[in-house]
C-alpha cells in the first residue's frame, strides 16, 4: 500500500542502518530500547498519526480556532485526538519517568515526531509548547515548582505556552516592557501584553502554565534585565488543587495563513492587577534560561518543516504514480498511450529533488537527536563537549536551512498536482501554508543565519565547526574506498575544502571593518553549509547502501538501496555545483548590499 506522511523504510534505514540507534541500549539509561522496542514505538506513533491525527488535519484547517469573550475554542476533533495522545504518553517521550516521561532516546522520539508532525503539525504545536514549558520547570524550577506543576504538564493534564514576544519586541527581546514587581510573599505581580502566543489559551486543558519573560522593577535595560516567571492561568494551591483565576486574559487570536488548528493568542497579564507569578531560575537570567530551551525548540521547528516536506513528497509521489497525463517523450506513434506523470523527466526531476532533500533532512535531524542522546550517556566530559558543540553548530542548519528547503519542497509538492495542488481537495496546499511559519518563528531564518555565522562558527574557538567538517571527512574517507562512489566523493571533498575557505574568510571578516558585508553573506553561508550537510548525509547513506547491496538483499530492499545511490548522485552532481557558485559569490564579496543608500531602494 502507498505510504503517506513518512516513508517507513527510510525511517528505519536512518534509525537502524545509518545511525544504528539500538547501540544506545548498551547504555543503562536506554537499556529498555532495543530494536524491538524502538520498532514498536515507531509503529505505534505511525498508527496514531495516520489513524487519528491525519484524519482531522483538513477539518481542523477549515474549522480553525475561535475566540469569544476571552475563551479560545480549538477544532472540535482535537479533543478526542488530544485524549488519545495524552493517554499514549507521547508528550514527554524523552523525559524522566519520575515526572511522567518515557525516558526514550531523542533519536527515536524524532522518528515518532516525524509521523505526528507530518500528519497534523498544528495539533502537535499544543503538545510541543506544553512540553517546552514543562522543560523550563524541570531545568530551572524549585522543588516546589516541580512538585506543583511538572507531572501535570508532562502528562498533559495541564498545558503550557511561552510568553516572549511583545508588539514592539519580536526578534529583539531586549525591548520588552512587561513588568514584574516583587510582593511581600515572594511572588511577583506581573503586568504586560504579549502577542503571538501559540496555545496561550485553549479549551483542551483545565489549566495553562505560562513561562513569561518580564523585567523586574529597576532591572538593567536590554536583555541583561530580563527574568523568567512561572505564571499559571489559574492559581495553584499548595496542595495542587486549583485556586482563583490569575488575571491572565486572552484578548484575541490571529487570523493566519496556516496552522489554523493552533491558536495564536494575544495575552494581557495583570489587567486587573491580579496576576501573580513565581520566579523561574534567577533574577535577570531569563534570557539564558530561554537559550537553554532554544536548541530543543529549534530542532522541533526543523522537524515540523521537514515533516511537511516529507508528507508532501509522498503525496506527490503517489499522485505521480496514479495520474495518467501526457505521452512518453520517446513514444514513436501518435496512438501511443498516455502515461503516468512519473514517466515524465520533469516530474522525475521534481520527485528526485524532493526525495533527496527529504532523506538528507531526515538524516540530519535524527543525527542531531543521536548527538543529544550521546551527550546524555557519554562518560567523558570531553566527548560531551564535543557532541554538544556539534549540536550547537547544527541547530541553525536544522532549523533555518531545513525549513527554507522544506518550504521549497512543499511548493514542488503542489506543482506535481498541477491545478489540483492549489485546491483544498488535496493536502498539498495546506502543507505549504502550514510550513511557511516554520521559517519565521523560534527566530526567523535570518536570525538562524546570523547565529551560525556570528556565534556558532567561532564556538569553542572554532573547534565545533571544525569537528563537524571532520565528521564529514570521516564519511568521505570511508566512501573513498568504494569504487562506484569515486566521482561523487571527489566532488564533495572539493566542496568541503571550499567551505573551509569560505568559513575562514567570513570568520576573519567578522573581526574586521567588513563585518557588515560578512553578515550580508550570513544567509548564503547558512545555505552552503546546509548543502554540504545534506550531501554528507546522502553520501553516508550511499556508503551504507553499497555495503548492504553486497549482501544481496531482497528485491525490494535492493530497489531502496539503489534509490539511495541515486539520491546521492543526483544531489552531489546537480546541487553541489550550485553550492560552489554560491561560495564563489561569497568569496567574490560584492558589497552592493552594504553600499546601497537607503534612498536608492526606491519606493518613495
Name residues contacting its own copies, limited to 419-478 (CB under 8 A): 419, 421-425, 429, 432-433, 436-437, 439-441, 444-446, 449-450
Which member of 210, 298, 355, 399 binds its own copies (CB under 8 A)?
A: 355
Residues belonging to the active site? 442
Q: To which residue does cell 528547503 refer?
A: 405
Q: Which three cell numbers stand for residue 115?
A: 509521523
Closest contact distance (angstroms) between CB of 482 and its own copies is 17
Cβ 326 to its own copies shortest distance, Å: 4
Which one, 271 or 524, has the nearer CB to its own copies? 524
Kindly state whether residue 330 participates in binding its own copies, applying the rule CB under 8 A: yes
Contacts of 526 by beta carbon, 8 Å cutoff, 6+ apart = 396, 397, 400, 401, 445, 448, 449, 452, 453
102-118 burial, b at 16+ Cβ within 10 Å, e below that, comes to: bbbbbbbbbbbbbbbbb
Long-range contacts of 216-222 (CB under 8 A, 24+ apart): 216/179, 216/180, 216/181, 216/182, 216/188, 216/283, 216/284, 217/179, 217/180, 217/181, 217/182, 219/283, 219/284, 220/284, 221/174, 222/174
Among residues 108, 136, 347, 409, the one that binds its own copies under rule CB under 8 A: 347
Q: Which of 96, 244, 346, 550 binds its own copies (CB under 8 A)?
A: 346
Q: Which of residues 497-526 bind its own copies (CB under 8 A)?
A: 515-517, 519-520, 522-524
Residue entry with cell 483545565: 206
Q: Which is nearer to its own copies, 148 or 259 (CB)?
A: 259
CB 170, min distance to its own copies, A = 5
User: What is the C-alpha separation between 371 and 451, in angstroms, rounded?
Assistant: 20
Nearest distance from C-beta of residue 233 to its own copies, angstroms: 22
Name residues contacting its own copies, limited to 115-174 (CB under 8 A). 165, 168, 170-172, 174
Position 7 contacts its own copies (CB under 8 A): yes
Residues 6+ apart with CB under 8 A from 306: 114, 358, 361, 362, 365, 402, 403, 406
Chain residues 569-598 in contact with its own copies, contact rule CB under 8 A: 569-570, 573-575, 577-582, 584-585, 588, 590, 592-598
Q: Please tell me the distance from the alpha carbon of residue 369 to that of residue 15, in angstroms, as a whole number.
A: 11
242-281 binders of its own copies (CB under 8 A):
254-258, 264
Query: Is residue 411 a contact residue for its own copies (CB under 8 A)?
Result: yes
Map the footprint of its own copies across residues 181-200, applying CB under 8 A: 195-196
The distance of closest approach from Cβ of residue 522 to its own copies in the complex, given in angstroms and rounded to an integer, is 6
Report the site for its own copies in 478-497 (rule: CB under 8 A).
Answer: none
Cell reading at 277: 507569578
Is 350 a binder of its own copies (CB under 8 A)? yes
C-alpha cell at 427: 493536502
Report the nearest approach of its own copies to the CB of residue 182 (Å): 25
Measured from the CB atom, is 446 or 553 closer to its own copies? 446
Which listed range, 101-109, 141-149, 376-384, 559-567, lies at the site for its own copies (CB under 8 A)? Answer: 559-567
Among positions 10, 138, 166, 247, the unique one binding its own copies when judged by CB under 8 A: 10
Instruction: State how far the Cα of 601 lies from the Cα of 604, in Å rounded to an integer.
Output: 9
Residue 327 contacts its own copies per CB under 8 A = yes
**241 touching its own copies, by CB under 8 A:** no
Please tell me whether residue 407 binds its own copies under the rule CB under 8 A. Answer: yes
Cα separation, 533 vs 477, whole angstroms: 16
Measured from the CB atom, the residue of 114 and 278 that comes closer to its own copies is 114
Q: Contact with its own copies (CB under 8 A): which of 219, 342, 377, 482?
A: 342
Interaction mask 290-319, its own copies, x per CB under 8 A: -----------------------xx--xx-
Cα gap 313→118, rounded to integer Å: 11
CA dihedral (135, 136, 140, 145) in degrees, to 10, reads -90
Contact 312, 408 (CB under 8 A): no
Q: Give the whole-angstrom CA distance, residue 61 versus residue 58.
A: 5
The smaller minimum CB distance to its own copies, of residues 152 and 456, is found at 456
Binders of its own copies among 201-240, rule CB under 8 A?
221-222, 224
Candidates 147-155, 209-217, 346-354, 383-391; binding stretch for its own copies (CB under 8 A): 346-354
Residue 418 interacts with its own copies (CB under 8 A)?
A: yes
Q: Which residues contact 224 (CB under 8 A, 6 or more apart)?
A: 284, 287
C-alpha closest to that of 535 among 504, 494, 501? 494
CB closer to its own copies out of 148 and 506: 506
Amino acid at each position: 500500500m502507498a505510504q503517506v506522511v513518512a516513508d517507513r523504510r527510510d525511517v528505519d534505514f536512518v534509525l537502524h542502518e545509518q545511525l544504528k540507534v539500538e547501540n544506545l541500549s548498551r547504555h543503562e539509561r536506554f537499556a529498555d530500547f532495543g530494536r524491538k522496542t524502538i520498532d514498536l514505538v515507531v509503529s505505534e506513533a505511525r498508527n496514531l498519526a495516520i489513524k487519528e491525527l491525519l484524519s482531522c488535519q483538513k477539518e481542523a484547517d477549515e474549522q480553525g480556532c475561535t475566540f469569544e469573550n476571552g475563551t479560545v475554542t480549538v477544532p472540535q476533533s482535537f479533543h478526542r485526538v488530544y485524549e488519545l495522545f495524552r493517554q499514549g504518553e507521547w508528550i514527554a517521550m524523552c523525559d524522566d519517568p519520575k515526572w511522567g516521561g518515557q525516558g526514550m532516546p531523542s533519536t527515536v522520539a524524532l522518528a515518532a515526531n516525524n509521523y505526528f508532525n507530518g500528519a497534523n503539525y498544528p495539533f502537535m504545536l499544543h503538545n510541543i509548547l506544553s512540553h517546552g514549558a514543562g522543560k523550563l520547570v524541570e531545568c530551572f524550577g524549585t522543588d516546589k515548582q516541580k512538585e506543583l506543576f511538572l507531572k501535570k504538564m508532562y502528562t498533559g493534564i495541564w498545558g503550557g505556552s511561552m510568553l516572549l514576544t511583545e508588539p514592539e519586541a519580536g526578534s529583539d527581546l531586549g525591548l520588552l516592557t512587561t513588568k514584574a514587581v516583587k510582593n511581600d510573599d515572594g511572588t511577583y505581580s506581573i503586568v504586560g501584553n504579549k502577542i503571538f502566543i501559540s496555545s496561550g489559551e485553549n479549551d483542551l486543558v483545565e489549566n495553562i502554565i505560562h513561562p513569561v519573560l518580564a523585567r523586574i522593577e529597576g532591572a538593567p535595560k536590554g536583555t541583561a534585565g530580563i527574568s523568567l516567571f512561572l505564571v499559571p492561568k489559574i492559581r495553584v494551591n499548595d496542595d495542587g488543587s486549583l485556586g482563583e483565576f490569575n488575571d491572565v486574559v486572552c484578548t484575541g487570536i490571529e487570523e493566519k495563513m496556516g496552522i489554523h488548528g493552533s491558536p495564536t493568542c494575544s495575552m494581557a497579564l495583570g489587567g486587573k492587577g491580579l496576576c501573580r507569578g513565581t520566579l523561574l531560575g534567577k533574577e535577570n537570567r531569563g534570557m539564558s534560561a530561554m537559550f537553554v530551551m532554544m536548541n530543543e525548540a529549534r530542532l522541533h521547528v526543523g522537524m515540523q518543516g521537514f515533516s511537511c516536506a516529507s508528507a508532501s513528497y509522498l503525496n506527490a509521489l503517489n499522485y505521480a504514480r496514479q495520474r495518467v497525463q501526457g505521452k512518453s517523450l520517446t513514444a514513436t506513434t501518435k496512438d501511443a498511450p498516455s502515461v503516468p506523470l512519473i514517466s515524465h523527466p520533469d516530474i522525475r526531476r521534481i520527485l528526485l529533488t524532493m526525495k533527496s532533500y527529504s532523506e538528507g533532512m531526515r538524516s540530519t535531524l535524527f543525527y542531531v537527536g543521536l548527538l543529544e542522546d550521546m551527550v546524555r550517556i557519554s562518560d567523558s566530559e570531553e566527548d560531551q563537549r564535543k557532541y554538544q558543540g556539534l549540536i550547537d553548530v547544527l541547530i541553525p542548519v536544522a532549523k533555518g536551512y531545513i525549513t527554507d528547503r522544506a518550504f521549497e519542497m512543499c511548493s514542488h509538492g503542489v506543482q506535481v498536482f498541477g491545478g489540483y495542488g492549489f485546491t483544498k481537495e488535496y493536502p498539498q496546499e495546506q502543507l505549504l501554508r502550514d510550513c511557511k511559519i516554520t521559517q519565521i518563528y523560534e527566530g526567523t531564518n535570518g536570525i538562524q543565519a546570523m547565529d551560525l555565522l556570528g556565534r556558532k562558527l567561532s564556538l569553542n574557538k572554532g573547534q565545533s565547526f571544525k569537528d563537524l567538517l571532520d565528521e564529514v571527512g570521516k564519511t568521505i574517507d570511508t566512501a573513498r574506498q568504494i569504487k562506484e562512489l569515486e566521482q561523487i566523493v571527489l566532488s564533495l571533498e572539493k566542496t568541503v575544502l571550499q567551505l573551509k575557505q569560505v568559513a575562514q574568510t567570513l570568520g576573519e571578516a567578522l573581526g574586521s571593518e567588513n563585518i557588515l558585508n560578512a553578515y550580508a553573506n550570513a544567509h548564503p553561508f547558512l545555505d552552503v553549509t546546509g548543502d554540504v550537510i545534506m550531501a554528507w548525509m546522502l553520501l553516508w547513506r550511499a556508503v551504507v547502501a553499497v555495503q548492504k547491496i553486497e549482501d544481496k538483499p531482497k528485491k525490494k530492499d535492493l530497489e531502496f538501496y539503489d534509490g539511495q545511490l541515486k539520491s546521492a548522485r543526483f544531489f552531489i552532481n546537480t546541487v553541489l555545483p550550485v553550492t560552489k557558485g554560491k561560495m564563489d559569490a561569497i568569496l567574490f564579496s560584492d558589497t552592493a548590499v552594504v553600499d546601497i543608500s537607503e534612498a536608492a531602494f526606491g519606493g518613495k
